[in-house]
Amino acid sequence: MKALIYVEQRDGKVRTATLEAAGAAAALGCDELHAVFVGDGLAADALAGAGVSKLFLVPPSDSYSPEYHAAAVAELARDGGYDIVFFAATQRGKEIAPLAAVGRRAAFLGDVLELAADGGGVKAKRSLYGGKLFGWFSAPAPLVVTTRPKMFAPASGEGEPAVEERPAPAAPEKRAVLIESHASAGGKVDLTEADIIVSGGRGMKDPANFAILEELAELLGGVVGASRAAVDAGWRPHSDQVGQTGKVVSPQVYFAVGISGAIQHLAGMSSSKVIVAVNKDPEAPIFKVADYGVVGDAMKVVPALSAEIRKKKGG
């Protein structure tokens, strides 16, 4: 099968989630792996070692537009006869991929967890009903697939791709365009791509107490998440919410601090590799899914944990 990978870049580097999408394509047995980048400033060697043999560069539109990106991908997918187009299921990927699927008249499988070849098409595993079930779906080529971050091993391979310039696509005149963009300082890693997440819930009692979670997260190279109760209280932004109506995350380690473990919260984090819970209530449902639990007051346990880690790191 011939596959095309939509490349996303961040801070001058190809995003890990993109490399994982390429890894998914390679693991599926796609023998021809090409990539497309819409925009300026992708270094020629950015995809070195990613197993991609050709990189198409499409000039950017004046301002980001999902329809423009989708048109660029759909045109190339059609012209090049690609069987399957991969996007990472990031915010941008999730927005552009369905539009590209319609443009290509291709079957769509979103946010897939596993893939297997199936005749001329694929079988894909997806998470349904807030993680309460898995579904296996089959679909024929041509296809558009988005891969959930952290579910596939990043691609590896030899050499750099050959670069080929493409003209601007025939994008619709009427389209959505970006008019303002405000990035937070420091470029926080997105929850869905983080290896370590330290989440706080209503048990944190006060927004100021999240400082102890920030401290622990920083020590471990992780980021802070939250339960809906903490978000609804206005303590944390909506983008920090983990769960069925928030983000679905699969980090190496998920710390649930002062979080009871409601079913809608579990929906967002139960595919974490390791779950550590800190809760003062020994009966809290979170302990039913946690690999390691500490029963106690978060305000005491978390600072002690940070101090101990710092001591250990200090040698």
Ligand X SMILES: Cc1cc2nc3c(=O)[nH]c(=O)nc-3n(C[C@H](O)[C@H](O)[C@H](O)COP(=O)(O)OP(=O)(O)OC[C@H]3O[C@@H](n4cnc5c(N)ncnc54)[C@H](O)[C@@H]3O)c2cc1C
How far apart (Å, rounded) are the C-alpha atoms in residues 301 and 278?
A: 8
182 touches another protein by CB under 8 A: yes
Helix (H/G/I), strand (E/B), else coil: 227? coil
- What residue 220 binds from ligand X, another protein, none (CB within 5 to 8 A, per partner kind)? another protein
301 touches another protein by CB under 8 A: yes
260 touches ligand X by CB under 6 A: yes
- What residue 93 binds from another protein, ligand X, none (CB within 5 to 8 A, per partner kind)? none
Backbone φ and ψ for 70, nearest 5 degrees, come out as: -65, -40
* Least distance CB 158 / another protein (angstroms): 30
108 touches another protein by CB under 8 A: yes
Q: Of the candidates 281, 307, 308, 310, which one interacts with ligand X according to CB under 6 A?
A: 281
Neighbours of 307 (CB within 10 A): 12
Crossing angle of helices 298-314/210-220, nearest 10°?
A: 30
Residues 205-244 that bind another protein (CB under 8 A): 220, 237-239, 241, 244
- What residue 43 binds from another protein, ligand X, none (CB within 5 to 8 A, per partner kind)? none
- What residue 284 binds from ligand X, another protein, none (CB within 5 to 8 A, per partner kind)? ligand X
Q: Which residues, at least 6 apart from 155, have a Cβ–Cβ distance to it below 8 Å?
A: 19, 20, 22, 23, 25, 26, 33, 50, 51, 52
Neighbours of 120 (CB within 10 A): 11
Three-class secondary structure assignment of 128-176: EHHHCEEEEEEECCCEEEEECCCCCCCCCCCCCCEEEECCCCCCCCCCC
280 touches ligand X by CB under 6 A: yes
Structure tokens belonging to residue 280: 């003062």
**Total residues interacting with another protein, rule: CB under 8 A:** 89
282 touches another protein by CB under 8 A: yes
137 touches another protein by CB under 8 A: yes
66 touches another protein by CB under 8 A: yes
Q: Of 12 and 313, which CB lies nearer to another protein in the complex structure?
A: 313
Which window, 40-48, 76-84, 152-160, 283-291, contacts another protein (CB under 8 A)?
283-291
Element containing residue 224 per DSSP (H, E): strand 223-226
110 touches another protein by CB under 8 A: yes
